[in-house]
């Protein structure tokens, strides 16, 4: 599955648009990560625990979006975007969405 944040796949023609596809996950903060983050806030720098949390959330949201696109028979998802929102104290949603498309000639031989 080709996943791009552009409106088209470079060098490929879109044969049909299958519709909006999305994937999301809601993640809660971990007590150990919160303690480490509190200390890091005192001295500054990257909070690796939160970076890992968001990386995992982004990966899972993309996997779910791609799964939905595959169910529609898509070759690619174009115009992919991400949003986040707080849904409860200490929990946030990461939402990925895009447009599922079929490419002329399918995905074989496509630039990835």
Q: If you write DSSP's letter for every residue of 72-108 in order, what string do you get?
A: TT-SEEEEEEEEEEEEETTEEEEEEEEEEEEETT-ST
Per residue in 11-26, pLDDT (tens digit) is 999 999 999 999 999 9
CATH topology classification for 2-103: Translation Initiation Factor IF3 (3.30.110)
Residue with more model confidence, 43 or 105: 105
Residue-level pLDDT at 87:
81
| Alpha carbons 72 and 21: distance in angstroms, whole number | 9
Q: What is the mean pLDDT of residues 88-108?
A: 87
| Alpha carbons 88 and 75: distance in angstroms, whole number | 36
Per residue in 54-76, pLDDT (tens digit) is 889 999 999 999 999 999 999 99
Entry pTM = 0.81
| Alpha carbons 64 and 49: distance in angstroms, whole number | 23
Any idea how long the chain is?
A: 112
pLDDT cut 70: percent of the chain above it: 79
């Amino acid at each position: 599955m080709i996943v791009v944040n552009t409106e088209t796949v470079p060098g490929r023609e879109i044969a049909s648009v299958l519709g909006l596809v999305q994937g999301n996950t809601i993640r809660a903060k971990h007590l150990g990560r919160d303690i480490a983050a509190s200390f890091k806030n005192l001295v500054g720098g990257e909070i690796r625990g939160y970076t890992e949390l968001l990386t995992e959330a982004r990966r899972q949201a993309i996997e779910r979006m791609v799964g939905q696109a595959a169910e529609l028979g898509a070759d690619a998802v174009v115009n992919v975007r991400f949003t986040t929102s707080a849904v409860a104290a200490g929990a946030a949603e990461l939402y990925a969405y895009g447009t599922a498309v079929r490419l002329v000639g399918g995905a074989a031989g496509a630039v990835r």
